[in-house]
Amino acid sequence: MPAPRTVLVVDDSEPHRRLLELVLHAHRYEVEAVADGESALAFLQRATPDAIILDVQMPGLSGLDVAARVRRLQRLRHVPILFMTSHASDEVRAAAARCGALDVLAKPIAGTDLRSRLATLFA
């Protein structure tokens, strides 16, 4: 049996982080969940997740800021990034694409949408 995939979830909303953790754990993903961009970058200094799910709008470093920094690191360039936002405008989608994101998911994220996006990444 292959090792479980690890997903880094970055969201300043604790209820939303917990919901994503529950959904991901139910589908046998390991989850590291943090509340802000600085914590995400600290985690990424010591570990390489299989995927990153970033909230676009957070206090301090936004998800877009974090993604831009991740893409500058050779070791992390291959890690798929999904954004989540409650404002999935064309402008946000374009900014996410410039940061190398694979997709932008609208909040609240349906468990089936998340599962299918991750399954596609890891197929």
Q: pLDDT tens-digit profile of 17-64?
A: 999 999 999 989 999 999 999 999 999 999 999 999 999 999 999 999
Q: Cβ–Cβ contacts within 10 Å for residue 15, how many?
A: 9
- The residues that bridge with 82 in the sheet, in sequence order, are 53, 103
Indicate whether this model's pTM tops 0.85: yes
pLDDT in tens, 52-80: 999 999 999 999 999 999 999 999 999 99
Sorted by where each starts, the structural domains of the chain and their CATH numbers stand as: 6-121 (3.40.50.2300)
pLDDT above 90: percentage of residues in the chain: 61
Contact 67, 85 (CB under 8 A): no
Please, is 20 exposed, middle or buried when counting C-beta atoms within 10 Å of its C-beta (0-12, 13-18, 19+)? Answer: buried
Split at pLDDT 50, 70, 90, the class of 114 is confident
